[in-house]
Structure 1
Amino acid sequence: MAYEAKDYVLPAGLQYALEGAIALNRPLLLTGEPGTGKTTLADWAAWHLHQVYAAKGIDFAPKPLRFSTKTNSQARDLFYVYDALSHFQAANLRREEALSVSDFIELRALGKAIVMSNPTPQLAGLTRDELPEKPRGSVVLIDEIDKAPRDFTNDILDEIDQQRFRIMEHNQTVERGAAEIPIVTIMTSNSEKNLPDAFLRRCAFFHIEFPKPGSPVLRKILQTHLGEPTGAAKKAYDELVGFFFQAREASVRKKPATAELLGWLKLLELNGYFEEKDAAKRREQLEYNLSFLVKTREDLEAVRKLL
């Protein structure tokens, strides 16, 4: 079963948080364990808002613009990159040609969203990017923002607030388009403790709790990704999900998350676990596939004791 953005299962309250962030024009900061669906919300939001705004006659990108935060990310990286080395090399190779600095500037996630909301001919000539013919809204995903140096979040406060940035090579400030062209910023973090208070004050916030045993959200996630089990397979699924929660309790380094559960169940299904009648062979499959559920030696040793 192929997963699509529309299949995302929203935890209770998350859509209210997203809509509130849009209404207040604030970025939405999502926290939660790895594997709880923080990043994939951006795909659902872009898909959902594409339809919502299309009904209003507003162009909206159906997929998010992504920025993967690195430990050495700088504020400018969120908006654009200037390839100074390639510019220098090209200038030396083509001395007689007048090279434009714009050919060596490329927009990044939030910078592209801002320019797409206001694609005037003047802005279109500042970079090498192709822009839409009319203003377009978009979702911007800033993934794992807690990885960035502390200066990163401090340096982007005003830019995110005002939704504008400066291209230093052109000495020009680029501003967003009309307010009805939305720019929806979603940021993910595995922990809010590393983020400055001033930054947190300017965000809408939602924490995604890990689903509890028997949770309707978890059942719907499993059904969406794996289909609805029937008969003996349903009983086996329920037992495996119960074992998964025991494994979470037993793990000492890294608790398995929803992504590990889905991959593990899918692998067992592919290996014929649910059709296997021999209990010893089923147990053998569980043991040999545990490394797809837990990812450290200490956790593997702890979880093996549960078999």
Structure 2
Amino acid sequence: MPADDLPFLPFELIEQPPAPPAAHDATARRRLLARRRPPPFLGNHPQAAMRYRPSDDLLLALNMALHTGSPLLLTGEPGTGKTQAADFVSAYFVIPIFKFLVKSTSTAQDLMYEFDAVGYLHWAQSERRSADARLGGARASTKEAVAVRQGFLHKRALWQAYETDGDAVVLIDEIDKASRDFPNDLLHELDQHSFPHPFDHRRWIAPHTGRRPLVIVTSNDERRLPDAFLRRCIFHRIELDEDLVKAAVESMAGADGSGFPHLDADARAAARRRFWQLREIPGLDKKPSTAELLTWLSILSAQRVDAQTLDGCRLADLPALGALIKDAGDLARLR
């Protein structure tokens, strides 16, 4: 039976091409490619949000932040579910979430708005030339210039959340990527939840509803945050433990196992055992996380791997090991 007529999607979407290149059937391979359906929880936080299983301690921290209006600072290893906690809150209440992904060049202003100064300068120069070219032409009035300048002002996560007609979540993701000044520059906004309009400092931007959005800040602990910033936050660190990982795996699998359709409960349990054995290897520079375990389980399901195969091989020979171990030195330690 041709591969594209199989009732199931084979794992080997790419194979060695045939020796005579003319024998390669690209059309059939493209039909297979079109049948791909990655699990919704991979790369789609909103779809996975209601399958997220926060620990009791995380629920406590979330409720503390909601009742006090304080930002919630979530720390932990990459891939432990910090970002997904914000999507969970958004899905739980069915309220919008506004995300700000921090970069090394981010400033506090970027959380509130961005002004396209280059674009505005180009407009101003073009308008000046047009006015000069017109006989008796007048340049744009001050009122018109202000209106045009507004068009180069782009509202970002915090401002967008303030304008929401209801509650909202603001995610400040991976704050430890930014310069040390970034969290210090947010102290007033996170404390008072207001900031001056960029074109009129007599006008202050604040939540329309009078209620603060829930601000969730994540950090991978790459560096310590300033004490003044920490003082304003509710803090919680997401620690990986066996109960948390099991809950995450079984929730994503679903009651009917459809999340990993070709992995039964025994295979999922065996995969979790091998996952913990990998994490216990001394000296690993990059230990696999929950997110990587879920990705690995998806691949094992596509490969139709059983518990006996997982339990019967060395750690270095685990199938699809590249989904868990991401460092060449760590691979060398295994082998």
1:294 aligns with 2:296: no
One-letter amino acid of the structure 2 residue matched with residue 25 of structure 1: G
Runs of 4+ in 1 over 4 A off after TM superposition: 229-232, 275-280, 282-288
- 2-structure distance, mates of 1:187, 1:277: 41
1:2 aligns with 2:40: yes
One-letter amino acid of the structure 2 residue matched with residue 13 of structure 1: D
> Match of 1:186, SS?
strand
1:262 aligns with 2:306: no
Which residue number in structure 1 is paired with residue 116 of structure 2? 83
Which residue number in structure 1 is paired with residue 19 of structure 2? none
Which residue number in structure 2 is paired with residue 167 of structure 1? 197
Q: 2:56 aligns with which of 12, 34, 37?
A: 12
Aligned residues: 270
Shift of 1:256: 0.4
Deviation larger for 243-252 or 220-229:
220-229
- 2-structure distance, mates of 1:238, 1:256: 16
- 1-structure distance, mates of 2:151, 2:263: 62
Shift of 1:301: 2.0
> Match of 1:194, SS?
coil
> Match of 1:29, SS?
strand
- 2-structure distance, mates of 1:231, 1:267: 10
Shift of 1:288: 5.2
- 2-structure distance, mates of 1:279, 1:193: 38
Which residue number in structure 2 is paired with residue 188 of structure 1? 218
1:24 aligns with 2:91: no
- 1-structure distance, mates of 2:275, 2:324: 8
Unaligned runs of 5+ in 1: 51-61, 118-134
Deviation larger for 249-258 or 164-173:
164-173
Contact 1:31 1:192 in 2 (8 A): no
- 2-structure distance, mates of 1:230, 1:273: 11
* Cα deviation digits, residues 230-260 of structure 1 (max 9, x gap): 9993323222211111111125210000111
TM-score between the two structures when normalised by the length of structure 2: 0.73
1:221 aligns with 2:248: yes
One-letter amino acid of the structure 2 residue matched with residue 166 of structure 1: P
TM-aligned CA distance change 1:278 to 1:140, over 3 Å: closer
Contact 2:113 2:159 in 1 (8 A): yes
> Match of 1:210, SS?
coil
- 1-structure distance, mates of 2:154, 2:276: 45
- 2-structure distance, mates of 1:22, 1:63: 15
Percent identity (aligned): 36
Contact 1:43 1:63 in 2 (8 A): no
Which residue number in structure 2 is paired with residue 54 of structure 1? none
> Match of 2:331, SS?
helix
CA RMSD, Structure 1 to Structure 2 (Å)? 2.8
Higher gyration radius (CA) = 2
TM-score between the two structures when normalised by the length of structure 1: 0.79
